[in-house]
Amino acid sequence: MNHILIIVGVLVLALTIAAGLIWVERRLLSLWQDRLGPNRVGPLGLGQVLADMIKLFFKEDWIPPFADKPVFVLAPGILVLTILLTFAIIPFGPHFYVFNSNIGILFFLGNSSLGVYSIVLGGWASNNKYSMIGAMRASAQMLTYEVFMGLSLMGVVMMADSFNLNTIVEAQKGGWFIIPQFIGFVVFFIAGVAETHRLPFDIPEAEGELVAGYHSEYSGMKFGMFFVGEYLGITLISALIATLFFGGWLGPSFLPPFVWLMIKTFFFIGIFILLRASLPRPRYDQLMTFGWKVLLPLALLNLLITGAILIFLK
Amino acid sequence: MFSILQTIWLTFLHLFHKAETVQYPEEKPYLAPRYRGRIVLTRDSDMNERCVACNLCAAACPVDCISLQATEDESGRRYAEFFRINFSRCIFCGFCEEACPTYAIQLIPDTEMGEYDRQNLVYEKEHLLISGQGKYHNYNFYKQAGVDMGVKGKGEGEMEEKPIDVKSLMP
């Protein structure tokens, strides 16, 4: 019974944060651009979330006649499903988790790889040149960035001696992994931005060149799924960064562990939005070059040095 | 690399800047006196219509949104029988104001003329005519020069010389 409550709680929490991020992002972006943002609907403009949701639900959900219908319908669901599944492994507190998996990080990496299918299938089923280009870019970008996203986490895994996220959090009682694993953190963060295809790495949907990339043809709640999936992805990557490098729910005891995790998560969500506010989009080849020629060697080097030091200390 | 971090930091500092937003319905932006907004027809200081229905505004209008018909009163003074501006066409270029020889047609800093029905954007003379002089005070076309319209005698205008008696030799 308690377990079901936690499952429902995590689901509701993730979806609420994802919906709330519509408002958070618009308000924060506007602050950084010297504007005010949506502040009319309800207190502080919070009703904007509700208004946007109602709008999305009541929009015409149109499937283009040239689309591959079953795949077209399936694709947005895969994205949300894979990301929501990954929320299961995040420990929100000492005994507040859905799934205490001993292969937690592998589960996350596997699910994030499956998430690519959503975009590739969505772009393919749209039967549209821009969507296809967006999907191709997305798959290449994801393949590139997933390689060292995994590698950058291996330093953490070696230090905690476990793939289990609960154990990793416990292992940070002596000090957060951000200090010994700073390079790992930087590489994982950049890979995380690319993984959620947020600006500056939103090349799959680059609206200046590709209309809206892989979701050009989507409307109504199917587009809403991609939309929510993106915000869920931001929340997930932020929560994972907090868990893996910043001690997760660890913190001084005047606040409950859950609140500590939320504070850290929202800090990184803020950074995600700050990146969007400040950085321009790189060219596609620059993105790939940066990935293969800078971040991959950096991740491997980090792995090598961490391993050497750990063996030396043993 | 350093410049990227600097960019992010500078953007972050904008958190502490004042927002440029003017919260419109509560807080109105300042519009300059010569702002080109709604078009009005003004009167001179004697509260007579300035418009002499010369049609120059209608000729100058690039979108042909002005239409009027000239007529005369019993003393022979020209005025517009009807004067109609279709604001759904008007582009607020101000050419009509520049063309007007009598300062009758003027653009004023008012932009709040939204309507639900497009037909309501067609303003007739009674909507356009204001009981004031607009931007140019104490100007009366008939007092400057031109024909005697009961406002001034011949040669008694403000900028007008006395008429010369061409049959006299006296300087």
Q: What is the ipTM of this complex?
A: 0.73
Q: Is residue B75 part of a domain?
A: yes
Q: Is residue B39 part of a domain?
A: yes
Number of domains within chain B: 1
CA distance to partner chain A, nearest, from residue B4 (Å)? 7
Which tokens in the block code for residue A81?
Answer: 């499903």
Distance CA B71, CA B90 (A): 25
**Which residue, among A278, A281, A295, would best test binding to B if mutated, counting the most B CBs under 10 Å from its CB?**
A278
Which tokens in the block code for residue A30?
Answer: 């506007």
Mean residue pLDDT across chain A: 84
User: What pLDDT, on a 0 to 100 scale, did the predictor assign at position A196?
Assistant: 83
B64, pLDDT greater than 80: yes
Distance CA A310, CA A291 (A): 27
Size of interface A-B (CB pairs under 8 A): 33
Average pLDDT of span A241-258: 82
Highest mean pLDDT among A85-94, A162-171, A212-221, B87-96: B87-96
Average pLDDT of span B32-39: 90
CA distance to partner chain B, nearest, from residue A29 (Å)? 9
Residues of A within an 8 Å Cβ radius of B: 30-36, 274-275, 277-279
> pLDDT tens, B45-55?
888 888 888 89
Average pLDDT of span B14-20: 83
B159, pLDDT greater than 80: no
Q: Is residue B164 part of a domain?
A: no
Average pLDDT of span B108-121: 90
Q: Is residue B14 part of a domain?
A: no
Which tokens in the block code for residue B148?
Answer: 């005697």
Q: Over pLDDT 90: what percentage of chain A?
A: 0
Distance CA A39, CA A45 (A): 4
Q: What is the CATH number of the domain that holds B36?
A: 3.30.70.3270
User: What pLDDT, on a 0 to 100 scale, did the predictor assign at position A205?
Assistant: 75
Q: Is residue B127 part of a domain?
A: yes
Confidence of residue B91 (pLDDT cuts 50, 70, 90): very high
CA distance to partner chain A, nearest, from residue B6 (Å)? 10
Among B4, B11, B20, beta carbon nearest to A32: B11
Residues of B in contact with A31 (CB under 8 A): 14-15, 19
**Which residue, among A27, A31, A40, A41, would best test binding to B if mutated, counting the most B CBs under 10 Å from its CB?**
A31
User: What pLDDT, on a 0 to 100 scale, did the predictor assign at position B56?
Assistant: 92
Distance CA B107, CA B37 (A): 5
A107, pLDDT greater than 80: yes
Q: Is residue B1 part of a domain?
A: no
Place of tokens 């651009």: A33
First to last CA, chain B: 88
Q: Is residue B162 part of a domain?
A: no
A234, pLDDT greater than 80: yes
Q: Helix, strand, coil % (nearest 5) of chain B?
A: 20, 15, 65
From the CB of residue A78, how many other CB atoms can be counted at a distance below 10 Å? 21
User: What pLDDT, on a 0 to 100 scale, did the predictor assign at position B63?
Assistant: 93
My answer on whether omega of the bond before A200 falls inside 30° of 0, hence cis, is yes
Cβ atoms of B55 and B26 within 8 Å: the answer is no
Cβ atoms of A89 and A42 within 8 Å: the answer is no
Mean residue pLDDT across chain B: 86
Cβ atoms of A239 and A30 within 8 Å: the answer is no
Which of B152, B136, B133 lies closest to B144 in space, CA to CA? B152
User: What pLDDT, on a 0 to 100 scale, did the predictor assign at position B62?
Assistant: 93
From the CB of residue B45, how many other CB atoms can be counted at a distance below 10 Å? 12
Which of A313, A314, A305, A152 lies closest to A240 in space, CA to CA? A152
User: What pLDDT, on a 0 to 100 scale, did the predictor assign at position A243?
Assistant: 87
Dihedral in degrees, nearest 10, Cα atoms A146, A147, A152, A157:
90
Distance CA A40, CA A46 (A): 8
A287, pLDDT greater than 90: no
Residues of A in contact with B23 (CB under 8 A): 36
Domain coverage including residue B107? 30-143
From the CB of residue B108, how many other CB atoms can be counted at a distance below 10 Å? 19
Cβ atoms of A205 and A130 within 8 Å: the answer is no
Note whether B32 contacts A: Cβ–Cβ < 8 A: no
- The amino acid at residue B5 is L
Distance CA A170, CA A55 (A): 44
**Which residue, among B2, B5, B8, B13, would best test binding to A if mutated, counting the most A CBs under 10 Å from its CB?**
B8
User: What pLDDT, on a 0 to 100 scale, did the predictor assign at position B49?
Assistant: 87
Cβ atoms of A275 and A199 within 8 Å: the answer is yes
Three-class DSSP category at B82 = strand
Among A30, A35, A274, beta carbon nearest to B11: A274
Average pLDDT of span A164-172: 82
The DSSP letter of residue B69 is: E
Distance CA B75, CA B52 (A): 13
> pLDDT tens, A2-49?
788 888 888 888 888 888 888 888 888 888 888 888 888 878 888 888
Least confident piece of the model among A95-104, A240-249, B102-111: A95-104
